[in-house]
Amino acid sequence: MAADTPARGPLPVTVIAGYLGAGKTSLLNHLLAHPRGSRIAVVVNDFGDVGIDPMLVSTSATAVYATSGGCFCCVLDDEDDLHPLLTRLARRGAGVDAVLLEASGLADPQALARRVAEHPATVLAGVLQVVDAVETAQTLTTHPSLAHHLATADLVVVNKADLVDDPAEVVALCRDLNPHAPVVTTVEGRIDPALVLDAPSRPDRGDQQLLAHAALDEHASHASHASDGSHEHPHLHHEAQSLSIAHDGPLAPGPLMDLLEDRPPGLFRVKGVVHLALAPGGSVPVVVHAAGRQVRVDVLRSAPDATSRLVAIGSGLDLEVLQERLDACRAAADTAPSREDLARVRRRTVRPGRRLDPPSRPSA
Ligand SMILES: Nc1nc2c(ncn2[C@@H]2O[C@H](COP(=O)(O)OP(=O)(O)OP(=O)(O)O)[C@@H](O)[C@H]2O)c(=O)[nH]1
């Protein structure tokens, strides 16, 4: 289960992609029914003038917004409404802990992921590719772009496992195309929510109203409060695994960047609030996120204490290897980082203007 990292910072956005009918909406509804206390906003990207999917999405989401009349991942001019929408959702008063962005069955999920990663107030929490256990082999021949979508996903969900005798074959096919991503099998999209949703960490509980007031696309449907009233027991084939460290001191930038940028197989995402040891005796508090191709470092003005907390979440992980990688982050904290490691941190820092230089005394 994912540990509760008290991360402040950007709003996590998970892209849910998949070919037509694979089970995206089912998976979305499952997450809405099991939100782990998170207030979720759903953005549905539907083709055509009349959005159908929003009507099928359960109303237990904090808000469901539909963008219709085109594929916003393809519209790169100012009229694109994804960024303004994310800006609204990321506002403190919006009361949103996570965004689930359902891509149209025909959209390129990586284009959407890039749009999310470009937004300064959000962080890409990963790209989920849902595939149909029955149809995937056939779909790969008729729509070869699915191979690329699969190869670039961060988490592959082989859905409709109930309709095949043994999903192992399609799982192996997905693993061949993407050896790095965790591959989980589901019925009706019932993944372990801990893979995607954290216990809420953004401190701004409260104002649920702003979302309802946000004037969005005229096809936007309804806003209601999140609830977890479902008594359904998820049928899980693979549960989320997580490892975390809470280290009373700073972490070494080199091994940390290694972990964030070159994640071991099965590791879906990493997040944390850590003190980065930028010089002996001096550290800077930051929020780190890694999922997909995005690695993001946000410099904090201050941290609540001197503890570095890091959580790694995945499925099918080699926990021993992961533990070694996490241990390496604290073991090397007394060693001065190399110039290259500092440069790597700078490259990933969203607001490099904000004091990335080591302070004269330890932070916190
Ligand atoms: N038997 C079975 N049916 C499923 C499963 N998951 C989804 N379905 C059904 O498959 C159909 C498509 O599921 P959706 O969740 O709407 O799929 P989608 O990817 O959102 O579909 P589009 O939005 O049209 O691309 C629905 O009739 C679901 O009830 C599953 O695991 N097993």
**Second-level CATH architecture of 241-348:** 2-Layer Sandwich (3.30)
Establish whether residue 341 lines the binding site of ligand 1, counting it when its CB lies within 6 angstroms of any ligand atom. no
By the 8 A CB rule, do 62 and 225 touch?
A: yes
**Confidence at residue 265, expressed as pLDDT on a 0 to 100 scale:** 87
For the chain, strand residue ranges (E) read 11-18, 40-45, 63-67, 98-102, 122-132, 155-159, 183-185, 241-247, 267-279, 282-291, 294-299, 308-314
Task: Read off the amino acid at residue 299.
Answer: V
Mean pLDDT score, 352-364: 52
- Closest to 10 (Cα-Cα) out of 78, 89, 110, 128: 89
C-alpha of residue 26 to centroid of ligand 1, in Å = 6
Indicate if the pLDDT at residue 350 is higher than 70.
yes
Q: Hunting for tokens 């591959």 — which residue is that?
A: 183
Indicate if the pLDDT at residue 236 is higher than 50.
no
For residue 266, what is the DSSP state?
T
Establish whether residue 190 lines the binding site of ligand 1, counting it when its CB lies within 6 angstroms of any ligand atom. no
Indicate if the pLDDT at residue 233 is higher than 70.
no
293: Cβ–Cβ under 8 A, 6 or more apart, which residues? 113, 117, 124
C-alpha–C-alpha distance, residues 132 and 129, integer Å: 10
Ligand 1 mutation pick, 20, 25, 106, max ligand atoms within 8 A of CB: 25
Indicate if the pLDDT at residue 232 is higher than 50.
no
Mean pLDDT score, 97-125: 86
**Confidence at residue 282, expressed as pLDDT on a 0 to 100 scale:** 81
Cα 60 to Cα 31, 56, 225: the distances in Å are 10, 12, 6
C-alpha of residue 160 to centroid of ligand 1, in Å = 8
Indicate if the pLDDT at residue 158 is higher than 50.
yes
Give, using CA atoms, the residue closest to atom 13 of ligand 1. Answer: 23
Identify the three-state secondary structure at position 343. helix
Average pLDDT, the chain: 76
C-alpha–C-alpha distance, residues 73 and 75, integer Å: 6
pLDDT grade for 191, boundaries at 50, 70 and 90: very high
Domain ranges of the chain: 11-213, 241-348
pTM: 0.75
For 163-301, strand residue ranges (E) read 183-185, 241-247, 267-279, 282-291, 294-299
pLDDT grade for 198, boundaries at 50, 70 and 90: confident
Ligand 1 atom showing the smallest separation from residue 186 Cα:
31
CATH class of residue range 11-213: alpha beta
For 1-57, the pLDDT digits (tens) are: 333 333 457 899 999 999 888 999 899 889 888 888 888 888 876 544 444 455 555
For 297-344, the pLDDT digits (tens) are: 988 888 888 999 988 888 888 889 999 998 999 888 788 889 999 999
| Length, in residues, of the chain | 364
